[in-house]
Amino acid sequence: MPVTWIPGSGFWANSYLVGSVLVDCGVLPMQIAPYRDRIKEIVLTHCHYDHTAHITEIRAMTGGRVSIHRLDGLNLGNDLLSSAMLFGEKASPVSVDRLLDDGERVGDLIVIHTPGHTPGSICLYHEGEEVLISGDTVFTHGSFGRYDLPGGNLSALKASLQKLSGYGIRGVYAGHGDPVREGGNRHIAAALKVIREIHG
């Protein structure tokens, strides 16, 4: 199943559409409008404001049910833990329809709990296509998410990268930057190597 990339601009996160599932809501609602009739579910990879800024408008436009990992669900309305203050904004409380756990499915996507960037960070994996939508857990070319923000944890992030290395991954669709459609496991391995070399 193809992944539609909806690019974020500046520090705003990418969104992705997989079937009827929209991942993340940092992009402007007008970018989502062409897909509004397809969207039934909205999944947030974590609670940070650059991924959630337009959730209220996008939910109203699409009628999609909102899901997030249970460890980040309560942080959506917290100025500090949502990092809204870094963007000069105040967090708005968001009512969540579904609190996710590791191994659950949203549409054709499997939830992989990957804490470290935030306690409830997740990746979403399409097994048949070997595609990983990675939020801010891991980026391409050996990069990974920050762990120095409130709720971040270096040890947890290293464990999450190790966990991801056990999956067969061709495409990596990260929260920021351009996606890669082949060789995804190499990008995961590079990030794991870098974090081990820097932090032991």
Rounded Cα gap, residues 141 and 138, in angstroms: 9
- What domains appear along the chain, each with residue ranges and CATH number? 3-199 (3.60.15.10)
% of the chain residues with pLDDT over 70? 99
Residues forming a β-bridge with 68: 99
Angle (CA) 8-46-6 rounded to 5° is: 20
Percent of the chain with pLDDT over 90: 90
Task: Kindly tell me if the per-residue pLDDT of 42 is higher than 70.
Answer: yes
Amino acid (one-letter) located at 144 = F
Task: Check residue 1 and give its pLDDT.
Answer: 63
Q: Give residue-wise pLDDT tens across range 69-104.
A: 999 998 999 999 999 999 889 988 889 999 999 999
